[in-house]
Structure formats: C-alpha cells, structure tokens
A and B are shown apart, each in its own frame.
Chain A
C-alpha cells in the first residue's frame, strides 16, 4: 500500500470502521502497548480473551492484511532482541495513529454500551 492510500485512510473518520469484530478488536488491543510478531499476537489474543478467541494463522494474517490495507497497523522489521530468535517471524506489527484512534473510538462505543446495559439491568432489578 503506498503513502497516498495510507494518507486517505488516516483521513477517514474512526467511527466509519466501527463496530470492530471481536478478533480485530483483540488484535488492535494487543498491539497497543508495543509492536509484536504474528505468534505473539496469537498468544496475546488468546490470553486477553481468556481463551475465548483462538485464531488460526490464516485468520490472523487475513486480518493483519486487511488492517494494513486500512492503515490501522504498520509492518516493521522484527529487530528487538527479545523478539528475535530461530524460527520467529522476521516481521512485526505496530498500531498506527489511525489504528489507535479507531481502538479508542471502539472502546468508547463499548463503554457506552456497557453503561446503558448496566442502567437497564439495574432498573430491571429494582
């Protein structure tokens, strides 16, 4: 994807990407603190979702490719010492600015949903 297309995507409103699917949300979420390679993403997604979301390699790389096309993540060399080793992927993924905005927008959306649900459920109980 060239720079021009990426610029277009960063100009798109974060809300236009919402709602995110559960795997997409977890992938973006696990990339929020730092860059990670594919295997680390798989493991983190599984851990963050308490084992509820377990991605296959094809689903993971399909999602990563789509997120790259949308400019929500970036692909960088996997050159940090703890991430390099025999058999580990040579590329890593990092959340872009646009990706962070989308993740924040989705979190706000879900927070509003939870607040509404709490309110309704609380009213039902009383």
Chain B
C-alpha cells in the first residue's frame, strides 16, 4: 500500500509539469501538499479509495491544464494591452530580435545575399522566389504568433509587411490600368498613387480591425499607441530602400545597404525605447537619415519616394503629439 501511494505521489508530481510554468511556480507546492493529504486520508480507507482518488485527479487534470494555458494566454493579452496603455514597456531582447527579423532580412541581409556572399541561384535577379517564400512564411508566422500573443510591439512589422504586400499588388493593378501609354511612367503621379494606396491600405486595416471582433485587440492597441501603426508601416521603407536597383547597378549596393542599415537601427531603437517621444524620434531620425543618404548617393527618385512614404509612415505617430482626453480603464 505504501508503495502504491509513493507511486501515485510521484506520478502526480510528474503530471504537474503539464501545467504552465508560471502556474506551477505559484500553485505547484500547494497542489502537492493538498494531494498528499488527500492520498494519506484515502490510504486509511483502503486501496480502492486511493485508486478512485488517482482516477478522479487524472480525469480532471486534462481539462484543468487546458484551462490554465488558455487563462495564461488571456492574461498575457491583458498585460500586453495594459502595458500598451501606459506605453512604457520595453521589448525584451527576444522580442526585439523577432521585431527586427523582417528589417534585417528585407534590408542588409537581402543586399548581402544578392551581391556578396550567396551563389547565383539565390540572387534576387535570378530566383526571387526563394526570398519571397521566406518573406511570406516569416510574415504568416509573425502574424500568427502576434495575434496569439495579443499584438505585442514586435509584431507590427509583420502587419506592416502584409499591408505593403497587399498595397504592392494593388499599386501594380492601378499602374497597369492608369499608365498604359508611353515608354515610361511619369514619376510624380507614380509616387502619389503608390503612397495613396499605402495610406488607403492602412486605413482599410484599421476599419477591418475595428469592425471584425477577432481583431479588436489590434484596433485597441493601435488606438492606445499610434506609433505602433507607424512602426508597422516603417517596414514599407525597408522594402522600398532594400528592394530596388539590385539588378540595375551594383555600384549602388552601398547606397541600398546603408539606408537599410539605418532603418534597421531605427527599428532597434524603437523597440528598445520606453517612451512614445523616444519612439517617434527613432522613426523620424532614421527616416530622415535614410532618405538623406539615398539622395546624396545619387538616387533622387528613390529618395523622394522614401520621403513621401516617410511622411505617410509618420502621420499616425504624430497623432500621439496631439492632446487627447484622459483615458480610463474599463472593466470587462
């Protein structure tokens, strides 16, 4: 009898490992103490009581474990939203890396891959499919994890990238409809249509997030800190600066690489900042520097393009500078 009690206790201790780590740390010791008392009591009544106790615990455990994981997820979401309300949370290094992945890959890594280290089959001009697959997979994983975790700050580049991809498709459709005559498209209308479509896509995203219940948390998080939307759209700058001219003139490698690096550093500073003012400054300074390098480097067209896109990117962040009524926490 003593042996079966010991086995049951050992089994119970092992099964407790199924609970989320935080829950175990908080209640593990208590659960073991209470279960131990119950087993002692059941042992006095006989073997059948011990078996019945063990069986009941086993049956209830599965549901309880699932509930605790769901509750932990909900709590994490609420904490994310609560910290978004104060706006003073700093992303951990793991989150920072997750947030920088797209900037890193769309920018410096793409440039290096295209010109310096990777074999010809991996180059942009040869087989863009490989990189496209990585980008799309990254975007889908980032969006999925970001959604599950309640849209933490690092997930916004993935949202922004999705907006840019959809915007790009829309822009191509518009251009193919509008600019059908002549050997070259006029530059200014091109820029304004592209930027208009990007702004429109961002607006549509906000409308969908507002109207569609599963995305309400995203809508609330952006409303609480508009720099998040700017940070998401900031990915568009990385796409713009990192994804042009690769097959046109290798001399421009540095002119593509340096602005991409500046955008990457801007994203890093944004993620590690603790105040909205710091975040706005990180976006503003990196955008200005990246555009300046691009213009000085001789690519006035893409510099101008970047400047106009930069204005669109910064508009949501600048909303934070406007006075707003004091917010109050609502229950439920």
Chain A residues near B (Cβ < 8 Å): 4-5, 8-9, 11-12, 16, 37-39, 42, 54, 56-62, 64-66, 69, 87-91
Residues on A with beta carbons closer than 8 Å to the beta carbon of B37: 39, 87-88
- Given A4-B329, A56-B56, also A39-B34 (CB < 8 A): yes
Given A16, A56, A66, A87, which contacts B71 in the complex, CB threshold below 8 Å?
A: A66
20 pairs, A vs B, C-beta closer than 8 Å? A4-B329, A11-B331, A38-B33, A39-B33, A39-B38, A56-B61, A57-B35, A57-B38, A58-B31, A59-B64, A61-B27, A61-B31, A64-B27, A65-B27, A66-B71, A69-B71, A87-B36, A88-B33, A89-B30, A89-B34
Interchain CB contact under 8 A, B332 and A89: no
Give the size category of B's interface with A. Answer: 20 to 34
The DSSP consensus for interface residues of chain B is: helix
Q: Mark B12-46, 1 if CB is under 8 A from A, else 0.
A: 00000000000100110111011111100000000
Interchain CB contact under 8 A, B31 and A57: yes
Residues on A with beta carbons closer than 8 Å to the beta carbon of B82: 4-5
Chain A: which residue is nearest B74 at the CB level? A69
Shortest Cβ distance from A57 into chain B, in angstroms? 5
Shortest Cβ distance from A54 into chain B, in angstroms? 8
Is B60 on the interface with A (CB-CB < 8 A)?
yes
Residues on A with beta carbons closer than 8 Å to the beta carbon of B63: 58
Chain B: which residue is nearest A1 at the CB level? B75
Residues on A with beta carbons closer than 8 Å to the beta carbon of B331: 8-9, 11-12
